[in-house]
A and B are shown apart, each in its own frame.
Chain A
Amino acid sequence: MSTTALASLAAQFLPSSASASFTLGIDNARHLLNRTGYGCTLNEARTFAQLGSDEAIELLLSAAEAQIELELPSWANERVLSLYEQNQLDSDSRRSRRQLFIMRKEELQIWQTRKILETDSPLREKMVMFWHRLFYAPIVDVPEPTQYCQYIRIIREHAFGDYREMLRALMQNPAFIQAHNGHRNMRLRSDERFTTTLLEHMTLGPGVADRRDLRGMQKTLTGLSLDKDDGSYVFNPEQHVDGDKTVFEQTAPFEPVDAPDLILQHPQNARWVVKCMWQEFASEEIEDDVLDELSNDFRRHHSNLQLLQSILLHPNFWKNEHRGALMKSPLDLIISTSRLFDQYLLSAEETFEVSKRLGLEIFHQNPSFTNFGWVNPSTLPLRLRLLRRMSRGTEQMDTALYDWAQDQNLLEQITLPIPPQRPVTATSVQGKIAAHLLDLGFQLK
């Protein structure tokens, strides 16, 4: 047996985190940067192409986990009016307050869009958006924009931190609770919406908890309430259903504070988080052995950063079958095209609007979408229209891209995850670039 064969055999039996690092090259650099960010500029592709895979991933992760100054709007720390003060308002001030809140909510949505456009670490924003999608809280369903800012802080603080901490913090966050009607679940008037959303969409996946579990959890979660002076979270024992509840085969007088641990102990929780993150970064499909392996690890460490790291380092992340296996989200599409030209063709406001039109409204994600749902008969023509308009003109293309585009192979590698579906017949450089952007494969990442 030759040494190389031995090495490859050895590699198969090594734990995945110890997989041999390899020099990326343009093709792999595009794959990595498309998945961990919003496309890449030529410079980034060139730089990353020179790096080893482990080194590149290390670089991306260390940039991403750094906590940054949030620079939330100046009103983010404003006090929430007490219930008494709110009741004192006359109808005019109520109306102007409503108007103000509508404007501030849009301001927050644009703020997040700008973060994504201007960040020094696209991976940080991608991860933040991932958690915002998993633990979604539609901004329209949260009364006060300042409360939403707290929710934003929690997601950002824990995006690369401890999953358990994140779950605990969210379950005591007024914005998160109100978005899902958690505060309406009371002793004499039960409301199951918060419980169902939490278990089926966010932490365990559909169909895991049975009727009895849902009922038990709903009772456990009675009494979530908001302080009538400052709107912060309080537990109101008067609205709580006392006595024993049975959740996941355990019976005890559980209170809301026990709920996160009940969820964390369920074996399906880790599997669900792993599956969702795999679908965000690697592929719609996750192999059974990969799921077992990653979720066993995750149950041990509950570190979001480590989970992401082991996904990116996993040999299956690099497998050919997973190239181009994900649809570009509207933000992926808009921003990756801009970055290819090395300049932002759309402002934050425009990006937000266009993305909304293509089905992704920041802070208002539809939880039931699957990745493939981004591209459907009504959005595909819009997407192509956008690309057609974006690839007009010549001066907007970086001259370096122009030089590159002369080389069919390089142009293909930087734009398409799989070979072009239609032969490129254009002869002009601009025509070639446009042909690659309009190829169906450009919809994929």
Chain B
Amino acid sequence: MNISRRRLLQSTLALSTGYSTAAMARSFGSIAHESDQPPRYLILIELIGGNDGLNTIVPFRDQTYYDQRPNLAIRPDEVVPLREGLGLHPALEPLYPYWEKRELVVLNNVAHDTVVDSHFRAAEIWDTGITEFGQLPKGWVASLIPPERYYREYVALGINVGANPGPMEGGEYMLTMDSLDKFLRDQKRGVDAPIIKDHIAMSHLYQVQANLARSEKIPNNRFEVFPEIGGFTDDELGRGLQDISAMIINGAAAPVLKTSLNGFDTHQNQPKIHADLLARLAHNLANFRELMHETGYWPQVMVMTYSEFGRALSENDQMGTEHGHAAPVLMMSSGIKGDIYGGAPDLTRGEALPFQFDFRQVINTAVLDWLGTRSGQINIRRYPAIDVVDVSAKRDHPLL
């Protein structure tokens, strides 16, 4: 890692001291007010295309799984066993140390009551929390009530790095950027609409785009220390997490930060593609966790991965799988009670796996218990949180 480590530590020292004072105050039993706690971050990683849950968290003692997937099933001796006949895909092995540290939560069988086959609809449901077809409603992050002291601690309510803002679309205080570097450069230069000579229509579009960009701004001066953070892969996820780390370390972040990894729509040649994607995921997550740990921010961070749907129980004839329904959500944080929740998938009910948790429960857990705020959307609020956040890490939510 090629960080100018000393400067980085200097800049983080102040914050981590601030944190330990707060932690100390809590341990001495004084009432720690919300505002004494350092800001929290929820990192969303969207696995675009529909991640195969059965080959991610493998039910390696279920014979049905091996019967339905003669070519695709992960052999029991390859699986990294966790608990109760469930284990990790071998490519996820880099995450195993965090399972042992009880920093990894597997919420198994997450979905909702509407089985849909289209990526378009499924993504919209996950993005908005609304299963009925509406008129392009707001994303669930976009409708969050800003946490207390939001304006001092954060620069935006949601920041997306990469191509898919998803749940952040349609709201205020949302930033989306291809990369942090480009975003800062554009801000310095100012976004001006180029005049396309002799093309009024294109000029109009640029004008609209510039008007939009002007309403997005990160205070530039917060980026005096710009660490060169290494160790991530050179893909959308790696670059996204790298930028997200930089934002957190520089104190210029948002309660919800999002990036994504594309390519999970494995209708063909799944084994190689899926293993490669999971390896990227595991490597980057582990690297991110270590970086946050070294810089002292790990207690403030929760990572969550999700996908628009899981995949069908049986394999198809092209070494792939079709769209399914329920799939696991992974959470990583030092503030959670690491375990598997929701039990093994029920493989007796056909191709679309039934769900144990509604995805809105998962969202609500992160929003209520982790960020200590609430959703502005009744659709999400009415689904109870799942008890995975450790009592000591739980934020009280004074608004409730």
- A residues sitting closer than 8 Å to B (CB atoms) are 284-285, 321, 324-327, 345-346, 349-350, 353-354, 356-358, 372, 375-377, 380-382, 385-386, 388-390, 392-396, 418, 421, 428, 430-431, 434, 438, 440-441, 443-444
Residue B209, interface by CB 8 Å = yes
Name the one of A345, A357, A380 contacting B136, with C-beta atoms under 8 angstroms.
A357
Residue B26, interface by CB 8 Å = no
Besides A325-B201, A380-B209, A431-B262, 16 other A-B contacts (C-beta < 8 A): A284-B201, A327-B204, A376-B208, A380-B208, A381-B170, A382-B136, A385-B169, A386-B136, A389-B119, A389-B123, A395-B265, A396-B118, A434-B163, A440-B206, A440-B209, A444-B202
Shortest A286–chain B CB gap in Å is: 13
Chain B residues near A390 (CB-CB < 8 A): 120
Chain B residues near A421 (CB-CB < 8 A): 202
Name the one of A356, A372, A389, A395 contacting B267, with C-beta atoms under 8 angstroms.
A395
B204-A357 in contact (CB<8A): no
- The 22 sampled A-B contact pairs (Cβ below 8 Å) are A284-B201, A285-B200, A345-B120, A346-B120, A354-B136, A356-B135, A380-B209, A381-B170, A385-B170, A388-B163, A389-B123, A389-B124, A392-B308, A393-B49, A394-B265, A394-B267, A395-B267, A434-B163, A440-B205, A443-B205, A444-B201, A444-B202
A372-B204 in contact (CB<8A): yes
- How many residue pairs link A and B with beta carbons under 8 A? The number is 95
The closest CB in chain A to the CB of B118 belongs to: A345
A321-B198 in contact (CB<8A): yes
Cβ-closest 5 pairs across A and B:
A393-B119, A392-B119, A357-B135, A389-B120, A440-B205
A349-B123 in contact (CB<8A): no
Q: Range of interface residues on chain B?
A: 20 to 34
Question: Which residues B237-272 have CB closer than 8 A to chain A?
Answer: 262-263, 265, 267
The closest CB in chain A to the CB of B123 belongs to: A389
The closest CB in chain A to the CB of B206 belongs to: A440
Bound Cα distance from A38 to B358, whole angstroms: 39
B202-A418 in contact (CB<8A): yes
Chain A residues near B118 (CB-CB < 8 A): 345, 393, 396
Residue B189, interface by CB 8 Å = no
Name the one of B49, B169, B263 contacting A381, with C-beta atoms under 8 angstroms.
B169
Shortest B306–chain A CB gap in Å is: 14
Question: Which residues B17-46 have CB closer than 8 A to chain A?
Answer: none
Chain A residues near B265 (CB-CB < 8 A): 392-395
Bound Cα distance from A403 to B263, whole angstroms: 18
The closest CB in chain A to the CB of B176 belongs to: A381
Residue B212, interface by CB 8 Å = yes
Chain B residues near A325 (CB-CB < 8 A): 199-201
A377-B199 in contact (CB<8A): no
The closest CB in chain A to the CB of B198 belongs to: A321
Shortest A358–chain B CB gap in Å is: 8
Bound Cα distance from A235 to B128, whole angstroms: 54
A284-B200 in contact (CB<8A): yes
Shortest B17–chain A CB gap in Å is: 41
Chain A residues near B308 (CB-CB < 8 A): 392
A396-B119 in contact (CB<8A): yes
A372-B201 in contact (CB<8A): yes
Shortest A291–chain B CB gap in Å is: 18
Residue B48, interface by CB 8 Å = yes
Bound Cα distance from A421 to B201, whole angstroms: 13
B170-A375 in contact (CB<8A): no
Given A385-B169, A392-B48, do A375 and B135 touch, yes or no (CB 8 Å)?
no
Given A325-B201, A394-B49, do A377 and B133 touch, yes or no (CB 8 Å)?
no
B201-A324 in contact (CB<8A): yes
Chain B residues near A386 (CB-CB < 8 A): 136
B119-A440 in contact (CB<8A): no
A375-B208 in contact (CB<8A): yes
Bound Cα distance from A434 to B198, whole angstroms: 27
Chain A residues near B123 (CB-CB < 8 A): 389, 392
The closest CB in chain B to the CB of A355 belongs to: B135
A392-B120 in contact (CB<8A): yes
Bound Cα distance from A386 to B136, whole angstroms: 8
The closest CB in chain B to the CB of A376 belongs to: B208
Residue B211, interface by CB 8 Å = yes
Bound Cα distance from A434 to B118, whole angstroms: 17
Chain B residues near A376 (CB-CB < 8 A): 208
Shortest A133–chain B CB gap in Å is: 19
Question: Which residues B153-172 have CB closer than 8 A to chain A?
Answer: 163-165, 169-170
Residue B134, interface by CB 8 Å = yes
Shortest A355–chain B CB gap in Å is: 10
Shortest B209–chain A CB gap in Å is: 7
Given A321-B198, A388-B164, A392-B120, do A375 and B204 touch, yes or no (CB 8 Å)?
yes
Question: Which residues B282-311 have CB closer than 8 A to chain A?
Answer: 308
Shortest A431–chain B CB gap in Å is: 8
